[in-house]
Structure 1
């Protein structure tokens, strides 16, 4: 059993890059003048000759990463999610995905929990943007250990990857010795027969806590961690749908275009059942403490439990 730790996935990302540097000499890390915040500075300190600060020029950074990929490198192009996917969307589309280059786009500080940085930095659209691109793999790890595994999987995967990371620290729960990370395969963290809660990223730990509250009310909730949103684990979602009859999705993202819509697409095509999406309801965030914002926007444990209970009724 691995040690329980409380870390932000952005910090785990920096650690993972540093650990993989010797094993993957092709890895080159690019940043847009945010190495301290994105934690790529950890890699920079150990491998300064393989780190490029592209300045506050995210679109150019993606172009540089594409060029490095054509030379056999494995570039990890990193910035806040809002800028890595929003400002640089055209470059990610045309310079990375269209030629299917081996570039890893990493967006830290995703979601409403960016907090005081406000609406301009609280990216709630990045999953929708990245999953719309042909050939793009989209990963949203949920804790420290899953982030370590996800970064390795991204480095080993040949093709474009978007890695979504958070600012807020979360206690680890993927600590067991039998934990395995596989791209495109979800993880059933808790069995249950009344309803399935499907979550990703920061919301997975909250979904587990919500399931405990529901248990006190006699509701047996299954919890599934979908760390890879594209390609999504169709088999696991359909299995849960057939066995529990109802699905609730939880994400720190707009309810339009994210995990909920990805799950709904699977169900509508193959096994239509009732589905409830919990996320940010098609609105911008605003400045405030991260914990307060998560509660205000309905991304707290109690609200997940309440909405799931209402849905069952």
Structure 2
């Protein structure tokens, strides 16, 4: 990188009065035909919250443009901290600020938080139960850059960490709703982030939908199959349900945006309704994620339905174009519908 290109990278760009800023280029786009999109919902929701609460700070590790934190940095530059490519320092600084009474939001890529900075998160944040909010882009298979950037095991890593709340939002509606509830939650939170122009999915299927921390919500009713899903796979499950309806297959979709604590009461009540195939769907390895958590929770309650899991395999994934990868690993809409139909 030349000095001139570095200057352009960090140059502050102001928008015309009243214009809403979107996220930067280089976005890992997601297929979301038929849905409206919202530009950088996390960044704008954080700015709105920070205007009401002076304790809120924004931090990132050289990834402001790629985690929507650049929205916050331009709106509130005196409350923004650029930590450079040093994720351990990022998390330690956030812990220190939380000890001083602030509410720091720390952003990076999910692989860097879960792999590179785990010990610092565990010792400096989780053990002390500090209110640090960790928001991470590129969760699961949302980039084609390969294993170095594909955080396919982040939920499994953080599920075993005491005091840590885990959120896997489906869409812009979840992201906007989760920010104030993360602030209200007293302890640390790890949230996956869909960045850039994010689809608005849930309210199209359920107009009264509102994110509730720790709660699962039925988005679509159905008598033949119950899909218990999280993250972007709720969007895929809903679209697959529409496809399957043409084949007279009635699919219910139960959305679980909070992975920990998991709403096992709602999940168990729905899974106990007899006769339905129960399928979990997640943008995460099948090892240690939503599927295993649901299976363990149901069996511990004596509920044993026909059960299948849709998720990423227990392996390092290929690099390539996202539509190709999603088809290859079975998380595209068509592959979700195909698998469900084959299990019936």
TM range (shorter): over 0.9
Q: TM-score, normalised by structure 2?
A: 0.86
Displacement of 1:193 after TM fit? Answer: 1.5
Tell me, yes or no, if the aligned pair for 1:58 and 1:87 is still in contact at 8 Å. yes
Residue correspondence of structure 1 range 101-116 to structure 2 within 5 A: 101-115=130-144
Tell me, yes or no, if the aligned pair for 2:110 and 2:136 is still in contact at 8 Å. yes
Q: 2:222: which partner in 1?
A: 192
Q: 1:57: which partner in 2?
A: 86
Structure 2: segments with no counterpart, 5+ residues? 1-34
Displacement of 1:246 after TM fit? Answer: 2.6
Structure 1: segments with no counterpart, 5+ residues? none
Quick one: distance in 2 between partners of 1:187 and 1:213? 21
Displacement of 1:174 after TM fit? Answer: 2.7
Displacement of 1:164 after TM fit? Answer: 0.5
Task: Find the residue that maps to 1:114 and give its secondary structure.
Answer: coil
Tell me, yes or no, if the aligned pair for 2:173 and 2:211 is still in contact at 8 Å. no
Residue correspondence of structure 1 range 85-234 to structure 2 within 5 A: 85-115=114-144, 117-167=145-195, 169-175=197-203, 178-234=208-264
Tell me, yes or no, if the aligned pair for 2:43 and 2:72 is still in contact at 8 Å. yes
Task: Indicate how the Cα distance of structure 1 residues 232 and 154 shifts in structure 2: closer, same or farther if over 3 A, else same.
Answer: same
Q: 1:5: which partner in 2?
A: 36
Quick one: distance in 1 between partners of 2:283 and 2:235? 12
Displacement of 1:168 after TM fit? Answer: 7.3
Deviates more, 1:160-169 or 1:76-85: 160-169
Displacement of 1:219 after TM fit? Answer: 1.5
From 262, 282, 289, give the equivalent of 1:258. Answer: 289
Quick one: distance in 2 between partners of 1:94 and 1:248? 36
Quick one: distance in 2 between partners of 1:168 and 1:275? 35
Quick one: distance in 2 between partners of 1:246 and 1:64? 47
Tell me, yes or no, if the aligned pair for 1:14 and 1:41 is still in contact at 8 Å. yes
Residue correspondence of structure 1 range 226-245 to structure 2 within 5 A: 226-243=256-273, 244-245=275-276
Quick one: distance in 2 between partners of 1:250 and 1:63? 34
Max radius of gyration: which structure?
Answer: 2
Tell me, yes or no, if the aligned pair for 1:12 and 1:147 is still in contact at 8 Å. yes
Deviates more, 1:84-93 or 1:174-183: 174-183
Quick one: distance in 1 between partners of 2:112 and 2:45? 22
Tell me, yes or no, if the aligned pair for 1:69 and 1:75 is still in contact at 8 Å. yes
Displacement of 1:104 after TM fit? Answer: 0.7
Aligned-CA RMSD value: 1.5
From 265, 275, 285, give the equivalent of 2:317. Answer: 285
Displacement of 1:204 after TM fit? Answer: 0.9
Quick one: distance in 2 between partners of 1:228 and 1:169? 22
Tell me, yes or no, if the aligned pair for 2:94 and 2:106 is still in contact at 8 Å. yes
Q: 1:21: which partner in 2?
A: 50
Task: Find the residue that maps to 1:257 and give its secondary structure.
Answer: coil
1:195-244 alpha-carbon deviations (Å, 9 max, x no partner): 10111111111100111122122211110111001111111111121115
Displacement of 1:7 after TM fit? Answer: 4.2
Task: Find the residue that maps to 2:272 and give its secondary structure.
Answer: helix
Tell me, yes or no, if the aligned pair for 1:188 and 1:225 is still in contact at 8 Å. yes
Q: TM-score, normalised by structure 1?
A: 0.94
